Structure 1
């Protein structure tokens, strides 16, 4: 088959048939799958049904939770999140082990809360939750840089003030020199705040992402035992 050669007419017919097949496939409605379908497909690939159910829940949460535009501000990351499907529920003892690891990682005690089958550990804007997802479970880690928006907004406001003061200084008069001084000071502080934000927020987000990944791996090891 690989060595066969085709005439120009054969090529035209083959490409025409391929185009018809592609158009027909594009017009067919997209197939939808049930969770049972996914669990069966996963089982054929060697995946536990509870892990598939937890992963499906993680995808749903990602779609309806923090919007992408809220996780960034001025193009800078102000929120970090991680959804971790687990192959089984964590027992009370498992949860205590995870909480101990959380306290060690972030060097804070935090507060724990249990509401039915849902468990939560929280300190400030940092929150970790664990809840059932079918026979599996879903662990969610979320945090937000609480002062980031106000910090960047204040820097941007000072830059606006600097521009306005600079424009007013061109009017002249006795107040011109004073307005120019205000423009210079506001501009310098505004630029400094924006530079600090640009430098610290990505570093903060990378550090939290690494911590979340390490905690996700720790929780998976617990769930695997």
Structure 2
């Protein structure tokens, strides 16, 4: 077997089959990579091992955190975990906070616990935490009033149905009109809530991505 000679066409077919088998193994979860293996693969592509390690830490943080949560299929939370090549200095952190205040038009509040720093404004939180491989910048927010709005819409619609049933049984035209108006109001509340959440999530996601890019430029990530 070792002495056999293969044509160029055979070589191409063998490599193609090997690549297909490798991708199948990865898809089925049979192949498990260690961090060192990923770092070696990254080094071949010109990616620093420290950057790979920081990205792995950020990935673990995303898995542990409640990512982009949904309510009735609609986004009610947005989050990002951004690996940085090095921790932010005091000056860098000050520049980042200034950028956050400009982006979100809010003064916010700063908290420092050990090496962990956080800027928060209501449900909006941005934290920076050093790691062995650099640092991780976590950005997260949620739309706190979304469940209440949908609950209000559901209550109005249920009330409209109940009033409509009573009005229909009693042949009460005035009450039936009120039921229809209540139904329209409930439907409008539901529609507004359903339309605004994707727009809000998209806008927050773009803001988070811009902040992440700013932090990466500060740290040369």
TM-score range, shorter chain: 0.7 to 0.9
Aligned mates of 2:90, 2:203 — CA distance in 1: 28
TM-score by length of 1: 0.81
Aligned mates of 1:107, 1:30 — CA distance in 2: 48
Question: Runs of 5+ in structure 1 lacking a partner?
Answer: 5-17
* Displacement of 1:212: 0.8
* Displacement of 1:64: 2.2
* Displacement of 1:104: 0.6
CA RMSD of aligned residues (A): 2.6
* Secondary structure of 1:170 counterpart: helix
TM-score by length of 2: 0.82
Aligned mates of 2:211, 2:218 — CA distance in 1: 11
* Displacement of 1:151: 0.6
Deviations 1:127-176 (A, max 9, x none): 00111232211111111111111111211221122122212222216xx3
Structure-2 change in CA distance of 1:73 and 1:3 (3 Å): closer
Note if contact 1:53-1:133 (Cα within 8 Å) is conserved in structure 2: no
Question: Runs of 5+ in structure 2 lacking a partner?
Answer: 1-6, 11-16
Which residues in structure 2 correspond to 1:94-173 (within 5 Å)?
94-172=92-170
Which residue of 2 is the match for residue 208 of structure 1?
Answer: 204
Which residue of 1 is the match for residue 4 of structure 2?
Answer: none
Which residues in structure 2 correspond to 1:18-33 (within 5 Å)?
30-33=30-33
Deviations 1:98-150 (A, max 9, x none): 00100010111101111111111000000001112322111111111111111
Which residue of 2 is the match for residue 40 of structure 1?
Answer: 40
* Secondary structure of 2:169 counterpart: coil
